[in-house]
Chains A and B, each alone.
Chain A
Amino acid sequence: MIPTSYYLILAALIFATGATGVLVRRNALIIFMCVEMMLNSVNLTLIALSRQWGNLNGQIFVFVIMAVAAAEVAVGLAILIANTRHRRSINIDEINLLKW
């Protein structure tokens, strides 16, 4: 059996990669994908700890997170499309209408 810590380290690596992608990239679509990746790495953590403690609650939590992620993708992509209609760009440096 594989120790739970291995999974935690892998999840930390994926999460850090996704966070770095959010900070470094300027394409809104790629930032979106990086956010999805971070959500998934947290799912991996929850499932690993669910096995560690022999408790099903973590898996239920992951199920709910998946549904929320699906809702987030639908709304987020609709916002991106609506923004592209107005500005002809998905560079987040140019999406600054609400910036102070």
Chain B
Amino acid sequence: MSLSVLFFLLVGAVCLAAAFGVVVSRQPVHSALFLLVNFASLAVLYVTLEAQFLAAAQVIIYAGGIVILILFVIMLIGGETNDFSAAQRTWSRIVGLGLGLILLVGLGYSALQKLLPLPADPGAALQGGAPKTVGLELFTNYILPFELVGILLLVALIGALVMGRQPEGAGEGIAAVKASDR
């Protein structure tokens, strides 16, 4: 077994263990931290797949932005729920596990059905997925999707602001701030 396969197995095992941790943790905070480990190990895998720019973007956007946002919300609304309440039917968990297993078998079967040959030489076309290569492609052939993504982010920002705003005349909030509002 070559060193690179060993490295892949190690990082992949960390990634998968973190994924399981997200699902089975009782505390949402622990889930969020496991999610951080999952994202970071995926970024390592991106580097081995000649996608350096995306590895950096993964760390910045997911590990740096999304996980922090989720942690903020957990601390804001507590996130404590009784996941094992009596209201939950006992069979729903078994059905969920069974459906997940069926999905895994289906996906694994279709992935293993035809083992892909080793790629010829990705270095020539991808050039390690360096920012320059990706940027040239993005700003020439894919300039319209790029602009549309910018509009989408603006719309999402405004939507999040509108939905997250305190309703008019809500009883909560700091008294001094409310007084200055009037």
What total of chain A residues lie within 8 Å of the partner, measured CB to CB? Answer: 71
**B79 and A29 within 8 A (CB):** yes
B contact patch SS = helix
Which B residues are CB-close (under 8 A) to A5?
Answer: 111-112, 115-116
Which A residues are CB-close (under 8 A) to B157?
Answer: 74
24 examples of A-B residue contacts, CB within 8 angstroms: A2-B48, A4-B118, A9-B108, A12-B111, A13-B104, A21-B23, A25-B23, A29-B31, A29-B79, A30-B23, A30-B31, A50-B51, A51-B49, A54-B122, A56-B137, A59-B54, A63-B134, A66-B58, A67-B153, A69-B66, A75-B159, A77-B70, A78-B163, A81-B163
Interface residues of A (CB under 8 A from B): 1-10, 12-21, 23-27, 29-30, 32-34, 36-37, 40, 43-44, 47-48, 50-56, 59-60, 62-64, 66-75, 77-82, 84-85, 89-91, 93
The 7 nearest A-B residue pairs measured at CB = A20-B100, A23-B96, A71-B156, A16-B104, A21-B23, A12-B107, A54-B125
Interface residues of B (CB under 8 A from A): 4-5, 8, 12, 15-16, 19-20, 22-23, 25, 28, 31-32, 35, 38-39, 42, 45-46, 48-51, 53-54, 57-58, 61-62, 65-66, 69-70, 73-74, 76-77, 79, 81-83, 85, 87-88, 93, 95-97, 99-101, 103-104, 107-108, 111-112, 115-116, 118-122, 124-126, 129, 133-134, 137-138, 142, 145, 149, 152-153, 155-157, 159-161, 163-164, 167, 170
Given A37-B19, A54-B125, 19 more A-B residue pairs with CB atoms under 8 Å apart are A1-B118, A2-B48, A12-B108, A13-B104, A19-B103, A23-B97, A23-B100, A26-B85, A29-B28, A33-B32, A43-B42, A53-B119, A62-B51, A66-B58, A74-B156, A78-B161, A80-B73, A80-B77, A91-B85
